[in-house]
Amino acid sequence: MTNTLTHLNLTHLNDSGAAAMVDVSAKPASSRLARAGALVHTTPEVLRLIEQALLKKGDVLATARIAGIMAAKKTSELIPLCHPLLLSKVSVDFQLLAAQGQIQIEASCLVSGSTGVEMEALTAASVAALTIYDMCKAVDKAMTISDIRLLEKTGGKSGHYVLEDQ
Amino acid sequence: MTNTLTHLNLTHLNDSGAAAMVDVSAKPASSRLARAGALVHTTPEVLRLIEQALLKKGDVLATARIAGIMAAKKTSELIPLCHPLLLSKVSVDFQLLAAQGQIQIEASCLVSGSTGVEMEALTAASVAALTIYDMCKAVDKAMTISDIRLLEKTGGKSGHYVLEDQ
Amino acid sequence: MTNTLTHLNLTHLNDSGAAAMVDVSAKPASSRLARAGALVHTTPEVLRLIEQALLKKGDVLATARIAGIMAAKKTSELIPLCHPLLLSKVSVDFQLLAAQGQIQIEASCLVSGSTGVEMEALTAASVAALTIYDMCKAVDKAMTISDIRLLEKTGGKSGHYVLEDQ
Amino acid sequence: MTNTLTHLNLTHLNDSGAAAMVDVSAKPASSRLARAGALVHTTPEVLRLIEQALLKKGDVLATARIAGIMAAKKTSELIPLCHPLLLSKVSVDFQLLAAQGQIQIEASCLVSGSTGVEMEALTAASVAALTIYDMCKAVDKAMTISDIRLLEKTGGKSGHYVLEDQ
Amino acid sequence: MTNTLTHLNLTHLNDSGAAAMVDVSAKPASSRLARAGALVHTTPEVLRLIEQALLKKGDVLATARIAGIMAAKKTSELIPLCHPLLLSKVSVDFQLLAAQGQIQIEASCLVSGSTGVEMEALTAASVAALTIYDMCKAVDKAMTISDIRLLEKTGGKSGHYVLEDQ
Amino acid sequence: MTNTLTHLNLTHLNDSGAAAMVDVSAKPASSRLARAGALVHTTPEVLRLIEQALLKKGDVLATARIAGIMAAKKTSELIPLCHPLLLSKVSVDFQLLAAQGQIQIEASCLVSGSTGVEMEALTAASVAALTIYDMCKAVDKAMTISDIRLLEKTGGKSGHYVLEDQ
């Protein structure tokens, strides 16, 4: 391994390699935001079905939105070493890419605290995607979810991060 | 839309388009299996860090494995219209693709029941991937998760499904 | 107390009055249904606001519906002496009584098991009502929820019960 | 709709009508209290049974009290758009109205935070009522729960609210 | 290590040592019971305080009983490799050993299923003990919990087990 | 009872003996730490099996560690009158006492808040112990857990507490 890794470390492992929730008590509380994305790949036909439902009551996306928001609040229950925190805002938005048969998901989380909210935004986006999968799987068994990733992050000592190619 | 869609429907929406947990009481209990995958994209350097930890106590993957297994049991809490069920087996396995800097995840679930376990396997794979993300994000902010998809499914009236290009 | 009460007992209290989950292992599994209702009292103006949102994306009722369905699955976590069970169907429906400024909620649960699902239907109706309250409280602090009650119950040794004056 | 509604809005819906947890990060933390009520309608006979148990170990009300307190802590898991918060006090009290065959429930919650605790108090009162229902339903199938409503609220920019006719 | 261990194995580890929920799908459902105990060590003075409260409303033990029962239902959420199951009965009982300043806890669980309920009974006893600890810690910081162990187990292929020296 | 008890009280019971979450809103937030222990009694043979697994992937202890950490975050869901809080650090460590066939567990929790974290540390230690029990019970039915107790506590008005005989 090169020198550049000598200062790297997997922050959740202690000296002997055992897992632990890292101590964040010395980190000052600050306002932090994270945006994360996910992409559901299905077919143009399934998108049309979802949209027709939208024209009626919009429940596929409404259900996925609620699932994503509720999942963000469960992040520290799901991800073993995540710190509990008091989210001050969660939103989940969808963009239907009709021609490609894709649904783009973007989740956004806000907190005033001492840890970032990347995992909350990523969890919201992932569970919203899984909910769309669940509601459409009867008509498309070959759906795939991809591009679960951080789009933007502000606050904390690591500064402003924006994914370049979005 | 073509004729082929006239017999399709989004099973979780009732006649007026409102969401509901569909009635599965008439479906006979049978043995059902599902395997699902996910792919974490990071760098060869991060993989080396994970492996070195593995040589000590292996905790990144051990933690992600436990997170995935516990998430499978929480599926019906996360996905609004999923039925609760009594999983009889859950396993989560990892393959480190060192050269590509990728970690391949495969989750497998088994149940004797009246609904399939795709969502449980997909949830296990997704949360295992998110846990790896959480434990490595301090050294790689650009990680991405992709290829969350069903690999195989047996049981139920829809028969045996295997993803072709795996 | 009159004679008619000598054969009555509060089934969840054991001989010394202590709480316990009663033994249902000897009860045969059968198909059981319960329907429960709740009534939210607000103003005709708030109903119009909800309906206008409906005309856009219908999210107040869609959110309350999902909340009710998910709450039904959490019943045994909320009500201390309720048995866990595998719901095979949950639905939550709304009727807007515009002139009265009321929203009528009806939740329906189905199970094949050895205990009834009254509590699941009542919990679904209650949490759906509380969710409507939460989403409308900024415009009406004086909302009230009433008429949380069992509408119908089938299955089990107590036979078919239908609330008379509905 | 009258002019008076032009400044009203359903705070949980964003511009396009989609649900989201509203941003409370700009609201200052302050001390906030809420009291909520619920009323269980049963018969004088059932009340006597509960009281006799009280004379022994009091478990119906003790169980309902614990259920209500624990439910208050679960509010943000149950109500999709509620913010998580750190309750600093929860209490649940009962008044047996023997002649009417009614049980009056009052739940009180306290927090130092940026959102009110109405929903926590209402959830505590509702789940306490449902727990009484569960423990008494074997002797009275016709129980009803009503009068779930906010009794008092202090803190936050909306000032002091007291229900008039209590 | 002696020969007698060659046929032993830690059932939750697969061939490579990784954790997994073991497959119980081939095990027939049968009626299974487990009783587990725990012992809280405090002082005779604290016991007197608890008893006096008992003479009023008995809430320390009533609260601990409810906490134990609810914890039994959460076992598969707490213990990573436990299978979810549908408990058909849970009870928690206490014996105050006044002279020794000890509280003996016994939890009993029943299920008709393919796995035993030891962990459910042990979890119920442990959480009941922790709840007593929580409610009494203001008056005794030196409390200790011991003797968390299986007292009896029936059902399953391993037959009837009774702890000898109880 | 002696005079020394006249100023004692069980803080979770209100004047009439009913349970309630005590009001901590007036307590200032401060940095608080708690360390708690537990002891699992099994046999030297089982310890060897665990260690051999350790030499491969270490999963018994890795699983128990994760279970303990996740349980600490669930404390206020398990212990009815515990306040929710935002843990800033949780760790769980093990010491194998080979000759005695014992595993010593130590859990450590940190918070900046207005209540102590004894219950979180005790819950982490207890659930870690139960997880070891679960994973080893197939080879030792006679395991016992003891010595669940507070080892050290700092912060809060009661000052520094250290268990003397550790």
Give the number of residues written for chain F: 166
Nearest to B66 among F54, F58, F66 (CB): F66
With an 8 Å Cβ cutoff, is C77 touching chain A?
no
The SS3 assignment for E104 reads strand
The number of distinct structural domains making up chain E is: 1
Cα dihedral across residues F77, F81, F86, F92: positive or negative: negative
Read off the pLDDT band of F54 (50, 70, 90): low
Is F162 contained in some domain? Answer: no
Q: Tokens representing C40?
A: 């939210």
Selected residue with higher pLDDT from A120 and F5: A120
- D57 CB neighbours in chain C (<8 A) are 13, 16-18
Tell me if C121 sits within 8 A of C72, measured CB to CB: yes
Nearest to B88 among E14, E18, E83 (CB): E83
Full domain range(s) for residue D129:
30-154
Residue B150 C-alpha from the chain's centroid: 7
Read off the pLDDT band of A13 (50, 70, 90): low
Is F9 contained in some domain? Answer: no
Whether pLDDT at D6 is above 80? no
What pLDDT sits at residue B5? Answer: 41
Compute the mean pLDDT over every residue in chain F, rounded to the nearest whole number. Answer: 88
Read off the pLDDT band of A58 (50, 70, 90): low
Place of tokens 């290009």: B165
Tell me if C109 sits within 8 A of C31, measured CB to CB: no
Is E120 contained in some domain? Answer: yes
- Alpha carbons within 13 angstroms on the beta-carbon side of residue F17 total 20
Q: What is the mean pLDDT of each run of 10 residues along chain B (166 residues)?
A: 44 73 86 97 93 65 96 98 95 94 97 93 98 92 96 88 81
Tell me if F60 sits within 8 A of F138, measured CB to CB: no
CB count within 10 Å of CB C6 equals 8
Q: Tokens representing B20?
A: 């509901």
Whether pLDDT at F3 is above 70? no
- D57 CB neighbours in chain E (<8 A) are 54, 58, 62
What pLDDT sits at residue A54? Answer: 56
Closest-approach residue (CA) in chain C for D56: C17
Compute the mean pLDDT over every residue in chain A, rounded to the nearest whole number. Answer: 88
Site from A103, A126, A144 to mutate, B interface, most B CB atoms within 10 angstroms: A126
With an 8 Å Cβ cutoff, is E63 touching chain D?
yes
The lowest-confidence range among A88-92, A149-153, C66-70, F50-54 is F50-54
Read off the pLDDT band of E153 (50, 70, 90): very high
Selected residue with higher pLDDT from E149 and F156: E149
Distance CA F138, CA E115 (A): 12
Distance CA D56, CA B130 (A): 51
What pLDDT sits at residue D5? Answer: 41
Is E21 contained in some domain? Answer: no
Give the number of residues written for chain C: 166
E143: annotated binding-site residue? no
Do D148 and C148 make contact, defined as CB atoms within 8 angstroms? yes
Buried/exposed E99-134: b ≥16 CB within 10 Å, e otherwise: eebbbbbbbbbbbbbbbbbbbbbbbbbbbbbbbbbb
Distance CA E150, CA E123 (A): 11
| DSSP assignment string, A83-105 | PP--EEEEEEEEEEETTTTEEEE
Read off the pLDDT band of C51 (50, 70, 90): confident
CB count within 10 Å of CB A55 equals 8
Nearest to B80 among C69, C88, C110 (CB): C69
With CA atoms as reference, report the closest residue to A137 among C165, B121, F165, E120.
B121
Mean pLDDT, residues D110-120 taken together: 93
Q: Which helix (H) or strand (E) holds F57?
A: none
- DSSP E strands, B11-165: 30-41, 87-97, 102-113, 144-154, 161-162
Q: How far off is chain A from C120, nearest CA to CA, in Å?
A: 20
Mean pLDDT, residues D13-17 taken together: 67
Mean pLDDT, residues A139-154 taken together: 95
CB count within 10 Å of CB D12 equals 23
- A53 CB neighbours in chain C (<8 A) are none
With CA atoms as reference, report the closest residue to C46 among C134, C148, C146.
C134
The lowest-confidence range among A25-29, A143-147, C145-149 is A25-29
- A70 CB neighbours in chain D (<8 A) are 77, 80
What pLDDT sits at residue C54? Answer: 56
Q: What is the CATH number for F78? A: 3.30.70.640
With an 8 Å Cβ cutoff, is A44 touching chain B?
no
Distance CA C60, CA B81 (A): 18
The 10s digit of each residue's pLDDT in F77-129 is: 999 999 999 999 999 999 999 999 999 999 999 999 889 999 999 999 999 99
Is E141 contained in some domain? Answer: yes
Is B85 contained in some domain? Answer: yes
Q: Beta strand E161-162 with E87-97: parallel, antiparallel or unpaired?
A: unpaired
A164: annotated binding-site residue? no
Which residues of A are identified as catalytic?
Answer: 134
Distance CA A134, CA B81 (A): 8
Q: Tokens representing E91?
A: 């009870």
Distances from the Cα of A15 to the Cα of A9, A10, A22, A23, A83, angstroms:
10, 10, 12, 14, 20
Q: Which of B15, B59, B93, B134 is catalytic?
A: B134
Classify residue D156 by its DSSP letter.
Answer: S
Contacts of D147 by beta carbon, 8 Å cutoff, 6+ apart: C144, C146, D37, D38, D39
The SS3 assignment for D88 reads strand
Do D66 and F85 make contact, defined as CB atoms within 8 angstroms? no
What pLDDT sits at residue F100? Answer: 95
Interhelix angle F118-136/F44-56, nearest 10 degrees: 90
- A4 CB neighbours in chain B (<8 A) are 45
Q: Which helix (H) or strand (E) holds F40?
A: strand F30-41
Q: Tokens representing C6?
A: 């000598």
Read off the pLDDT band of A28 (50, 70, 90): confident
Determine whether B134 is an active site residue. Answer: yes
Q: Identify residue D81 by its one-letter amino acid code.
A: L
Distances from the Cα of A118 to the Cα of A122, A129, B165, D76, D148, angstroms:
6, 17, 32, 20, 38
* Chain C from 85 to 114: CB within 8 A of any A CB: none
A77: annotated binding-site residue? no
Buried/exposed C54-70: b ≥16 CB within 10 Å, e otherwise: beebbbbbbbbbbbbbb
Read off the pLDDT band of C9 (50, 70, 90): low
Mean pLDDT, residues F10-19 taken together: 71
ipTM of predicted assembly, 2 dp: 0.93
Do A87 and D18 make contact, defined as CB atoms within 8 angstroms? no
Residue B42 C-alpha from the chain's centroid: 19
With CA atoms as reference, report the closest residue to D143 among D57, D66, D45.
D45
Selected residue with higher pLDDT from E6 and B132: B132
Whether pLDDT at E10 is above 70? no
Which residues of B make up each annotated binding site for substrate? 81-83, 119-120
pTM of the model: 0.94
Is D18 contained in some domain? Answer: no
D83: annotated binding-site residue? yes
Read off the pLDDT band of E58 (50, 70, 90): low
Place of tokens 């299905």: A42
Q: Tokens representing E90?
A: 């849970």
The lowest-confidence range among B5-14, E69-78, E88-97, F129-138 is B5-14
What pLDDT sits at residue C27? Answer: 84
Residue A50 C-alpha from the chain's centroid: 22
The lowest-confidence range among A92-101, C132-141, F45-54 is F45-54
What pLDDT sits at residue E117? Answer: 96
Is B164 contained in some domain? Answer: no
Whether pLDDT at D23 is above 70? yes
